[in-house]
Amino acid sequence: MTLFQDFEISQPLKKAISKMGFEEATPIQAQTIPVTLEGNDVIGQAQTGTGKTAAFGIPLIEKIDVNNPRIQAIVIAPTRELAIQVSEELYKIGYYKRVQVLSVYGGQEIGRQIRALKKGPQIIVGTPGRMLDHINRKTIRLQDVQTVVLDEADEMLNMGFIEDIESILKEVPSEHQTLLFSATMPKPIQAIAERFMHEPKVIKTKSKEVTVANIEQYYIETQEQKKFDALTRLLDIQAPELAIVFGRTKRRVDELSEALQTRGYAAQGIHGDLTQGKRMKVLRQFKERSIDILVATDVAARGLDISGVSHVYNFDLPQDPESYVHRIGRTGRAGKQGKAMTFVTPREIPHLKNVEATTKRRMEPMKVPSLDDALEGQQRLIFDQITSAINEENLSSYEQMAENLLEKNDAAKVVAAALKLMTKEPDTTPVKLTSEPPLQVKKDRKKSYGKGNYSKNKRNYRNKDGRQQSSRSYDMKQRRSRTNKTRKSS
């Protein structure tokens, strides 16, 4: 057991960490913080929700010179919401040290960011595109940067981002520390990563499984057209505190959130085609629980830490096993329990096996619930709520009314009527949902990474549309298949 108080870090940080409620370091924190404080480059891989943000955040903030108003560290994250979240966590860690942290991301007025940049933040957290934009405008200067962090490193070094990352790194002095963190690190991506690094220490917390043990994982085999009924019945039965439903495409997310609303659920969608204002509003509503179902593309798959997410539903199978790991990792965080349900059509079973082979964990089969099961689920929920209300609520203003009802009616009838009115009976309102074709399993995934397209000596080559590419890991087939992902969010 490693306590934060025992780390060689300054008092203001210890005070901030304790205010955040952390006492004991998680395994990845215990292993990486000392090594990072010594100045090493680090590749840190640990399961979702195990505190990787603080693992890089603590040493990063320890190193900052607060008397220097220039940018000393940058953290790059794949999505806007993650950049904001990471900057908030760093702000908390640096609170008593008075470190200034700023997030810059696409979709927010650039003028506002430029004004904030003039105040001399020491740490910038941003999405690659917007960070490059500021570098080109000379509103961000990286000459004093000593630390570069790639959060969700494998995603950042993936096809769509690598050129931006390379351009950013060109602006950083060659003497700098590089920290890469993610829950997944496919070997070919790690090889690319090491090119950017100086004798990196690779720290992977020892665990056979890629996903955390406290997430129960199920799959539900059903026809494409039956998935939605199965979803709403499951929602009725499982009554999640907060749930995230992942869909494959933006259109899918729009249709799903509308269909859920039609059936009376408090659901909203989030994806890359919405305005930033709308994206932030939906996420705020979800955190405040004015909605309890977030329907999302993979834009919400990585890094987001929202307490209370008890269930994740993969309405559509994710494109690759890594995406599965990150999606389900939105639940079961910081030692909490979670459940993940994945819908799969019969033709997609090979794809599911592929996911299981990567995660080294079997998903349990779950039967498609019937309407009766759904009704029973809702009844059980109401039963539990009433039982706890009997013990905990002040019912005095209702007691007279109860007496009146009981005078004229049979007691069991009265309670049954009240139960019926309170129970949300399964809603079968027809909804419109465009069918998605089944996912095709990629023949040999291992070979498809970095297949001839990338080598150390052959860094530049032209792709099919003649555009020069620097380095890459996925082949073109994979690239096409990933275009539906909401990736370029900055």
Ligand X SMILES: Nc1ncnc2c1ncn2[C@@H]1O[C@H](COP(=O)(O)OP(=O)(O)OP(=O)(O)O)[C@@H](O)[C@H]1O
Q: Which is nearer to ligand X, 283 or 344 (CB)?
A: 283
329 binds ligand X (CB under 6 A): yes
Q: Using the rule CB under 6 A, is 48 a contact of ligand X?
A: yes
Q: How far is the CB of 427 from ligand X (least distance, A)?
A: 33
| Residue 183 Cβ vs ligand X, minimum distance, rounded to whole Å | 4
Q: Please identify, using beta-carbon distances, which residue of 52 and 330 lies nearer to Mg ion.
A: 52
Q: Name residues whose C-beta falls within 8 Å of residue 371's C-beta, 6 or more positions apart in sequence.
A: 233, 426, 428
Q: Which is nearer to ligand X, 130 or 327 (CB)?
A: 327
Residue 105 Cα distances to 259, 300, 357, angstroms:
31, 15, 36
Contact present, 211 and 48 (Cβ < 8 Å): yes
CB of 378 to ligand X, least distance (A): 31
For residue 50, state whether it binds ligand X (rule: CB under 6 A). Answer: yes
> Which residue among 110, 114, 334, 386 contacts ligand X (CB under 6 A)?
334
Give the C-alpha separation, 339 to 216, whole Å. 5
What residues make contact with Mg ion under the rule CB under 5 A? Answer: 52, 303
C-alpha 458/C-alpha 240 separation (Å) is 50
In the complex, the smallest distance separating the C-beta of residue 180 from ligand X, rounded to whole angstroms, is: 12
Nearer to ligand X, 183 or 239 (CB): 183
Least distance to ligand X, CB of residue 152, Å? 7
Rg (CA), the chain: 25
Cβ–Cβ contacts within 10 Å for residue 58, how many? 28
Q: Of Mg ion, ligand X, none, which one does residue 193 interact with (CB within 5 to 8 Å by kind)?
A: none
Contact (CB, 8 A) for 44 and 56: yes
Nearer to ligand X, 51 or 369 (CB): 51
CB of 50 to ligand X, least distance (A): 4
Nearer to ligand X by C-beta: 140 or 270?
270
Contacts of residue 295, Cβ cutoff 8 Å, sequence gap at least 6: 244, 245, 246, 247, 253, 256, 257, 260, 267, 268, 269, 270
CA proximity to 434, closest of 223, 270, 255, 295: 255
Total residues at interface with ligand X (CB under 6 A): 19
End-to-end CA distance of the chain: 39
Binding to ligand X by CB under 6 A, coded x per residue (else -) over 1-30, reads ---------------------x-xxx--x-
Q: Any contact of residue 49 with ligand X (CB under 6 A)?
A: yes
How far, in Å, CA of 209 to CA of 81, rounded?
27
Residues interacting with ligand X, by CB under 6 A?
22, 24-26, 29, 46, 48-54, 183, 303, 305, 329, 333-334
